[in-house]
Structure 1
């Protein structure tokens, strides 16, 4: 009874431990499914997506997948409906040969966002295995001295199934002497004993043949049987007995060889050899136990002889026999349970379950990069693991679920700065001493389009020679992009714009792949000197980025235009016709050839020279100015006409030239060809297109000036009226200048070429006879015999040196009309057309021609007019006097001409209030008058 009670208590304890272990396993699992072993492929297991609360449509987008901890693929998930199904036939006995509850642990991983769910699939056993005995026949030797109730351990059958499908009971064939006693310690631990019902009598029945049958609890029940051949022995009738039938021992793993596990003690009531006991492992003990433990047969001490590893096996069941030395040896039996205690002898196992690389450089903080599984085969604190990563990286590691950790982004990423990170992940357990493992993973950073194409400069300047062939390559632009792959592929384009209404695409084009710029047409520097365009570089990223380059294009001039004389300078069919008086002096300027070249720069510098000049021509031409001057006296010339060819050369490479014909006619003073005058008048009336714009501009400016001047005149009119009324009491001396009178209006200054204006109006008096020519005391000029003022001699001739400037810009200034109050318009200043052909007259040179001040009048006496003495002004004659009836002041100055034989008197008309200013300018006017002498004009 005591033995049965102990067995019941032991079985109860084992049952409680087993139930608690099952409950703990179920709690640790989020989902638990049950499927029978040997299920066919496609067998339904469970609705994973529905049980996890996921929508069917989100399975693919969130990248649901299944991972088995042991790497098997017994199960798969249908991504269309979220059903977990059997992928491969499972043999529970092969998968879990020593575990009563066979569970396949699965990890359901969802990547977007990262989630991990644990799923335990329990493999339900089916009754597909028969109970099997190790042998078809067992031989037993039993002494006849055994008393009824004696029992003998039998080797039980083995059923690979578990639970109710495992062996539930044994049956023994009918016998009067033997019965079967089955003791259950745990679900899988049963003790089968053959019990003697009554005393054996070897003489009556020396042997017994029985059949032992094992039944399992499955449906239908399966069975297996073996034969027991029992031999009844005589002699020794007492078997050794252990002090305990059941021993429980604890042993640290990795125990050294020779470590004592326990010492057994058995006793035999017999005497002599029948009481001497030998200890040995039961023959039913498997080899995996005998390779680890050994027993001393005489002392009963069990020692460690092999490797003890908690992770391989944490519990050993050892059957020990105690055999006496009697003639008929008797055996006592006991069982030893050796529990292996864990120590921290296993490093954590670190596995990267999911690695989402490369990581985009614009990933937000918290983005999951990798899921890491850390497993430590130790138990307790020895199996608990913490993870950490290397410092100074924009990542961190966080714990997610059980032994899983996530590597997440913890800072900004920039692929252009660091394209790949090497992260050391260290897993350390909490054992003592702690063990750790380190794993290096590489996390490449993928590129995003965050850098626009960049030009080395924001603007570039290039030059293209004109007359380039259309389609020629003129320049190559280059931009670089810090990104890579597709984000760094750059295409070039020209931003739409126009030049004078013409699209820029008509001028240039660009290769979008290599940035080569091509000229689509042949440029002409004379039509287009420069332009600019915008070139855009765009990458192919999403979204695309771009930047602009301003390209300044200058058209470089080449020498492709021949020098040409200005049309207004040629008078007869591209032929220059010039006449010169035979009396022209050496060094006198005859004319100036004005030519232009449509090119620019050095290509437009023109030089002039005579083509094959004769040695005896009396003319020379300035190589740079084109001025033709007299180099020797013309009186010695025997011909009246010179036909010269002037070569116009530019300074380009190669040099281009043209030729113009020049005809020089030698004439006497006052002689002019009518045909030439008509041609000159006709040429003067011709205007080029360029002159039209110039004339329009001058007219516009003159109109504004006249409006301003009229406004000013109206404001000042009242003051002038008062001054005139005060001066009416004086009488105007009409003998001073004849019909040349000074009007009451202010003199107008007309300046067409920007020369400095003059406020003085200077009257040049002709040469008067020495006798009878004097200025009266009241300020009147000397008169002739008829009492009229002496008129200048009609034979004044203007200097031939001024003809060279007649083709230049016109500068007319200070041309005032003298009017007398009672007379009106009497006579204007002499013009070129007013010269008379009288042989005895003089000639006046009017202020016409380029750069000639109109105040500079040059008087020249003809060859038939002897130089006449100039009347001397009395020293007591007042310098300033007032003309009666006029608001003007007459200032008389006497200047010494360049030669002692020629003298002129100057009478200056001006306003009263400007008298002082005229005095200050007297010295300057004298110098100017000197420059207007015929001798000085030769230098012009």
Structure 2
């Protein structure tokens, strides 16, 4: 068993080596193919898709494409079968000249995700170029005195092919006097004289030099050599060595000495005088870049030497004596040009993914970069770098090829674009560098919601506004761009007092202007909370909301309302009442109290009272009305001269601009007796309040008839003994009731519910409570929520002066009366 395993171990080892080689080729990231030059269109090169591990079905969706350096479409890929084939004619000599290696570098790009592969296709040489001599016919002059064994260098043929196709062999035809010597190392061809020449016998020899290359099939080239035999001079100049090698830096200045040659001639006289010149077969390139001094043999630089263009020159130099005939010596000078760091690196940028979205993931490939330098050695070694402070980096992909990839996150709102500068620096001394830039624009994504300057705005609007009036403009700013920054506005719908918010206000979708759709009423709605939404046009859209606190400012659009005494409810803008006052009443006797409310708020609801009409008869009026309390009281003791009936007209005025008024008519009857019972008449109502500065009140007629005074006197005389105590008790009760009313009286019930207002009066002033909602006022059923104003006129017990002489004293509701709290305040 051991012996059998040893015999068969070769095949597994070979299979293992093949697997390792395939794995190495797959991991190297590069494919190599070869194709002969001059291949026809469609020639198969390789199954590139299969070798790269790509499926044929994904070539088109992933945008499989091939790019070659220089832009020539020499090779193409069939996307149906993934085969790389020859697209156009390839001439190896045109592509690579005489370079030993010749290949076409391809970059294979596959997107989604992006992959870059590098493929090299070797272009193999074929024997398509025949050997070529520099001239078709060469004329030589040889003196007959030359001895056998003399050597005459010839210019050999050249073959544009390489390798075996460029290995030449030479044959010389039709010659008995000459033989051909070929140096196998440098392929130099020399004509050797085998037999002495006799000009008289044969003055000219016609030779055919044939060069054959080593290709299959062989190709040949030929040159006709015509040798003219000269006479006389028998010694030719000779150099110290047949070949010289010198080195010189490229870009050397004109006149720089390359070499000084020295040839010797044993002849004397003119036959030993030597002049130097370039051989007639020297190429025009040599003549353009070098010069030789005929007398000294000094070879100098003429023109600029460029290593990248030509890195070596082979110069054939003749030394000619002045004999008759002259004789010449020959040598070869091999000039090697040394490279200098005179070429800057070249950068080629290929943009792929521009612009770049600001939410692009790290590692996204932005561009492909390739660099090159025409210099050689360290002068041609290039390194690449990026200018600092950019969110990108360079990733080397293959030799001098890089990918520009995203290295950190982008934010278009901070930086909208980057000017990326790529710098390439060679390793020469001193180093040379080049730079190239690419503009990387950052594309916007919808990552910013519209923002308002404030989270809440306070807006003041007077009530009774015109429908459709503009009350405010909301503006939201979006830091994004284009559609992502286009903001539209809308109203966030909700219910306000059982009605939709959109019935009160509307918002223009583009400008953000807020309009009131109907007149607002402060007494109905003091504060309207409006929420506006701003949305951008991105996908998906982003948005934010802002709140408008719309305060409806009060206007003096409600006249004072007089309260009927009996029901406590509103009686209208004018009322009439009848009161009985005993003539025995002294100064300060309270006759009655006029009560009124105003649905407005603040100063518009602050009421004052004044006596508008005095009693007839011309006597001084014995009555007055409290400026802020509305109490009608006597100013002096009544006497017999006072008229038994007096008509008092009380004007109730608010403090609005313009002021609105209401009037109350009080009919006062003076009676003899110890008590009087006031009563309100419900039978007469005058005209309404006026919006002007003064509103007239109509007189009311038909008051209740007075009780006959005589009846009271008879009753008093008959029952004085029995009713005296009762009269005193009733009088005391009446005084107590009147005093209690003076101490503090509240109006509540239906009047407060209907008018949503409350007036509380006392001996020191009047409380005006403007109620917003229908709630019970001055009761213990729930805490009132009202705006409260306190007025203290501080009136003396005397005649009432003109309106406004005693300014009101205002108290801060929040501090003094604890409005909007859990306490009862009336």
Query: What interval of TM-score do these two structures reach, taking the shorter chain for normalisation?
Result: 0.5 to 0.7
Match of 1:562 in 2: 559
Cα deviations by residue, 1:122-171 (Å, 9 ceiling, x for unpaired): 44556666665555544333444556665644445566555666685566
In structure 2, relative to structure 1, the CA distance for the partners of 1:653 and 1:810 (3 Å cut) is closer
Query: 2:610 matched to 1:602?
Result: no
CA deviation after TM superposition for structure 1 residue 488, in Å: 3.8
Judge conservation of contact 2:612–2:649 (CA < 8 Å) in 1.
Answer: yes
Query: 2:726 matched to 1:793?
Result: yes
Cα deviations by residue, 1:731-755 (Å, 9 ceiling, x for unpaired): xxxxxxxxxxxxxxxxxxxxxxxxx
Q: Secondary structure of 1:602's partner?
A: helix
- TM alignment of 1:114-153, pairs within 5 A: 117-124=117-124, 134-145=134-145, 152-153=152-153
- TM alignment of 1:138-287, pairs within 5 A: 138-145=138-145, 152-156=152-156, 168=168, 174=174, 185=185, 190-193=187-190, 200-209=197-206, 227-236=224-233, 244-255=241-252, 257=254, 259-262=256-259, 264=261, 278-287=275-284
Query: 2:453 matched to 1:456?
Result: yes
Judge conservation of contact 1:810–1:851 (CA < 8 Å) in 2.
Answer: no
CA deviation after TM superposition for structure 1 residue 530, in Å: 0.9
Match of 1:14 in 2: none
Cα deviations by residue, 1:213-247 (Å, 9 ceiling, x for unpaired): 66667777766655544434344566555565554
CA deviation after TM superposition for structure 1 residue 252, in Å: 3.7
Query: 2:538 matched to 1:537?
Result: no
Unaligned runs of 5+ in 2: 1-26, 686-720, 749-759, 764-826
**Counterpart Cα distance in 2 of 1:270 and 1:572:** 160
In structure 2, relative to structure 1, the CA distance for the partners of 1:456 and 1:433 (3 Å cut) is same
Judge conservation of contact 1:575–1:663 (CA < 8 Å) in 2.
Answer: no
CA deviation after TM superposition for structure 1 residue 358, in Å: 5.4
Q: Secondary structure of 1:280's partner?
A: strand
**Counterpart Cα distance in 2 of 1:611 and 1:791:** 39
**Counterpart Cα distance in 2 of 1:488 and 1:35:** 57
Match of 1:493 in 2: 490
In structure 2, relative to structure 1, the CA distance for the partners of 1:358 and 1:150 (3 Å cut) is same
CA deviation after TM superposition for structure 1 residue 459, in Å: 1.9
User: Which of these residues, 656, 669, 672, is aligned with residue 660 of structure 2?
Assistant: 656
Task: Answer with 1 or 2: which has the greater Rg.
Answer: 1
Match of 2:512 in 1: 515
In structure 2, relative to structure 1, the CA distance for the partners of 1:647 and 1:280 (3 Å cut) is same
In structure 2, relative to structure 1, the CA distance for the partners of 1:83 and 1:578 (3 Å cut) is farther
Query: 2:633 matched to 1:629?
Result: yes
Cα deviations by residue, 1:716-772 (Å, 9 ceiling, x for unpaired): xxxxxxxxxxxxxxxxxxxxxxxxxxxxxxxxxxxxxxxxxxxxxxxxxxxxxxxxx
Judge conservation of contact 2:450–2:534 (CA < 8 Å) in 1.
Answer: yes
**Counterpart Cα distance in 1 of 2:509 and 2:43:** 60
Query: 2:523 matched to 1:590?
Result: no
**Counterpart Cα distance in 2 of 1:173 and 1:672:** 172
**Counterpart Cα distance in 2 of 1:603 and 1:265:** 129
Judge conservation of contact 2:561–2:571 (CA < 8 Å) in 1.
Answer: no
Judge conservation of contact 2:675–2:731 (CA < 8 Å) in 1.
Answer: no
- TM alignment of 1:225-624, pairs within 5 A: 227-236=224-233, 244-255=241-252, 257=254, 259-262=256-259, 264=261, 278-297=275-294, 300-354=297-351, 371-390=368-387, 397=394, 399-405=396-402, 414-417=411-414, 426-437=423-434, 447-541=444-538, 544-566=541-563, 568-569=567-568, 575-583=575-583, 584-609=585-610, 613=614, 616=617, 618-624=622-628
CA deviation after TM superposition for structure 1 residue 461, in Å: 1.3
CA deviation after TM superposition for structure 1 residue 475, in Å: 1.0
Cα deviations by residue, 1:889-924 (Å, 9 ceiling, x for unpaired): xxxxxxxxxxxxxxxxxxxxxxxxxxxxxxxxxxxx
**Counterpart Cα distance in 2 of 1:60 and 1:636:** 124
**Counterpart Cα distance in 1 of 2:558 and 2:459:** 23
CA deviation after TM superposition for structure 1 residue 43, in Å: 6.8
Q: Secondary structure of 1:798's partner?
A: helix
**Counterpart Cα distance in 1 of 2:41 and 2:466:** 77
**Counterpart Cα distance in 2 of 1:401 and 1:100:** 22
In structure 2, relative to structure 1, the CA distance for the partners of 1:498 and 1:38 (3 Å cut) is farther
Judge conservation of contact 1:415–1:445 (CA < 8 Å) in 2.
Answer: yes
CA deviation after TM superposition for structure 1 residue 426, in Å: 4.8
CA deviation after TM superposition for structure 1 residue 501, in Å: 4.3
CA deviation after TM superposition for structure 1 residue 329, in Å: 4.1
Q: Secondary structure of 1:290's partner?
A: helix
TM-score (norm 1): 0.60
Judge conservation of contact 1:273–1:324 (CA < 8 Å) in 2.
Answer: yes
Cα deviations by residue, 1:497-538 (Å, 9 ceiling, x for unpaired): 332343433332323333222223322212111132333334
Q: Secondary structure of 1:793's partner?
A: helix
Judge conservation of contact 1:578–1:663 (CA < 8 Å) in 2.
Answer: yes
Match of 2:778 in 1: none
**Counterpart Cα distance in 1 of 2:522 and 2:441:** 56
Task: Out of 396-405 and 631-640, give the one that drifted further.
Answer: 631-640
Match of 2:702 in 1: none
In structure 2, relative to structure 1, the CA distance for the partners of 1:795 and 1:272 (3 Å cut) is closer
**Counterpart Cα distance in 1 of 2:167 and 2:203:** 32
**Counterpart Cα distance in 2 of 1:44 and 1:557:** 94
Task: Out of 462-471 and 173-182, give the one that drifted further.
Answer: 173-182
Q: Secondary structure of 2:604's partner?
A: helix
TM-score (norm 2): 0.67
CA deviation after TM superposition for structure 1 residue 477, in Å: 1.9
**Counterpart Cα distance in 2 of 1:810 and 1:509:** 40
Judge conservation of contact 2:321–2:328 (CA < 8 Å) in 1.
Answer: yes
**Counterpart Cα distance in 2 of 1:118 and 1:274:** 67
In structure 2, relative to structure 1, the CA distance for the partners of 1:571 and 1:198 (3 Å cut) is closer
Q: Secondary structure of 1:288's partner?
A: helix
Unaligned runs of 5+ in 1: 1-26, 684-784, 812-848, 853-940
In structure 2, relative to structure 1, the CA distance for the partners of 1:167 and 1:665 (3 Å cut) is farther
Judge conservation of contact 2:581–2:670 (CA < 8 Å) in 1.
Answer: yes
Judge conservation of contact 1:578–1:591 (CA < 8 Å) in 2.
Answer: no
Task: Out of 471-480 and 215-224, give the one that drifted further.
Answer: 215-224
**Counterpart Cα distance in 2 of 1:40 and 1:498:** 84
Task: Out of 139-148 and 590-599, give the one that drifted further.
Answer: 139-148
- TM alignment of 1:86-125, pairs within 5 A: 92-97=92-97, 99=99, 101-108=101-108, 117-124=117-124
Judge conservation of contact 1:29–1:120 (CA < 8 Å) in 2.
Answer: no
**Counterpart Cα distance in 2 of 1:93 and 1:615:** 139
Judge conservation of contact 1:571–1:679 (CA < 8 Å) in 2.
Answer: no
Match of 1:910 in 2: none
Q: How many pairs were matched up?
A: 679
Q: CA RMSD in A?
A: 5.0
CA deviation after TM superposition for structure 1 residue 192, in Å: 4.6
CA deviation after TM superposition for structure 1 residue 404, in Å: 3.8
Match of 1:694 in 2: none
Match of 1:930 in 2: none
**Counterpart Cα distance in 2 of 1:641 and 1:615:** 9
